[in-house]
Amino acid sequence: VIVEITAAATHTLRRAVLRNGDPDADVVFDGDDAEGSVHLGVVSDGWLVAVASWIAHDDGSVQLRGMATDPSMQGRGIGTELVTSGTDRFAGRAVWADARDSAIAFYEQLGWVVEGDGFVTPATGLPHHRIRWRGMPAP
Ligand SMILES: CC(C)(COP(=O)(O)OP(=O)(O)OC[C@H]1O[C@@H](n2cnc3c(N)ncnc32)[C@H](O)[C@@H]1OP(=O)(O)O)[C@@H](O)C(=O)NCCC(=O)NCCS
């Protein structure tokens, strides 16, 4: 079941999955509370098992951030459901993300396209590429 959640409700999974459980990591992302930003979660047996945030930018584009599925629930199609619900919801907008290289194959099979050179994000120290949902240019 995909539900709309608060930004704060994403924090536990963001920390566990995207920041290696680091208790000191900052899991508040720019734009979390911007008007038009939406946070979606998947609830299974009463537990929040995946989260994804869709950050609204002033240029009208929407950035997917904080995509995380609980490790015990990965590989069951939950991430696919969550990403697809967002791209359906924001159809017609420019939808993009800065994706970890380790997850790019996941996005590519859903129709996302890699743009430009790779870079390392300070918060993770991991290589990333900008990707966009097909059809609309990333900003
Ligand atoms: C990437 C992630 C969000 C995918 O979520 P998920 O719930 O496991 O995704 P799904 O079960 O819908 O996977 C769909 C397909 O993508 C594949 N896949 C999942 N993660 C993948 C990855 N990192 N790289 C390549 N393929 C991947 C699955 O094997 C599956 O393939 P199949 O249909 O052939 O079986 C999840 O693995 C995750 O949270 N990873 C750690 C955090 C992360 O990297 N987040 C993305 C940051 S940009």
Q: For 8-22, what is each residue's pLDDT tens digit? A: 999 999 999 999 999
What is residue 51's predicted lDDT score, i.e. its pLDDT?
Answer: 98
60 Cα: distance to centroid of ligand 1 (angstroms): 27
Sequence-distant (≥ 6) Cβ neighbours of residue 43 within 8 angstroms: 1, 3, 49
What is residue 139's predicted lDDT score, i.e. its pLDDT?
Answer: 64
- Print burial letters for 2-15: b (CB count within 10 Å at least 16), e (below 16): beebebeebbebbb
pTM of the model: 0.94
- Segment 106-134 shows an average pLDDT of 95
Strand stretches in the chain, DSSP E: 2-5, 38-44, 47-56, 62-69, 95-100, 112-120, 127-133
What is residue 138's predicted lDDT score, i.e. its pLDDT?
Answer: 58
d(CA 84, CA 107): 10
- The best mutation among 27, 74, 121 to test binding of ligand 1, ranked by most ligand atoms within 8 Å of the C-beta, falls on 74
Give residue ranges with CB within 6 A of ligand 1: 17-18, 50, 67-69, 74-80, 99-100, 102-103, 105-106, 109
Chain-centroid distance of CA 40 in Å reads 9
| pLDDT tens for each residue of 45-72 | 999 999 999 999 999 999 999 999 999 9
Chain-centroid distance of CA 78 in Å reads 13
- State the distance between the two ends of the chain, measured CA to CA, in whole angstroms: 31
Nearest to 68 by CA among 85, 96, 86, 48: 48
Identity of the amino acid at 89: R
What is residue 134's predicted lDDT score, i.e. its pLDDT?
Answer: 86
